[in-house]
Amino acid sequence: NYSDYCMIVTDNGFDALFAANRIAASVREKARTHPLRLAGLIGNRTSKRDLIDKYVDAVPMPVLEVLPLIEDIRVSRVKGKTLFEMADKEPSLGYVCDYYLNIADQILARPEGVIPQDAQDRELFSLLSDFYLNPSKSPVLNPEEQLDLMIV
């Protein structure tokens, strides 16, 4: 009743995206009577984002960030410290903090947010299971196309 935004944190897995879809449905329902909006989706602890991309194509919403599998995140929990506390002593961890600072910047900018249109269970099951059962091969890029995608 008191939130302006909801953020969905999920991984790139089948079950997690089903749960994300349920949260999207809940936001849509709550938005009928409250000013709640979905700020976006955060991919967490994932080396790929292929299913996340399939999901947001079917259920349009912003992707705020995708955090890769970073061992230092787990280590911070084991040490009982935040990543920011650890980065004070280990500056090499600054890049990890940047993921979280990016998310914070986006929320502080007060995004418009969306009222998501969740997918029906059968539609989502078909979309995600097809991805597992019939994986497409990645297109081979020629060297010129690869340079277009290179970050320097």
Does residue 140 form part of some domain?
no
All residues at 6 or more sequence positions from 121 whose CB lies less than 8 Å from its CB, including other chains: 18
R_g over Cα of the chain: 18
pTM for this model (two decimals):
0.82
- Domain with 126 in it: 5-134
Q: What is the pLDDT along the chain (152 residues), one digit of tens a residue?
A: 789 999 999 999 999 999 999 999 999 999 999 999 999 999 999 888 999 999 999 999 999 999 999 999 889 999 999 999 999 999 999 999 999 999 999 999 999 999 999 999 999 999 888 877 887 655 455 555 444 444 44
Give the chain's domain count: 1
Confirm whether 65 is domain-assigned. yes
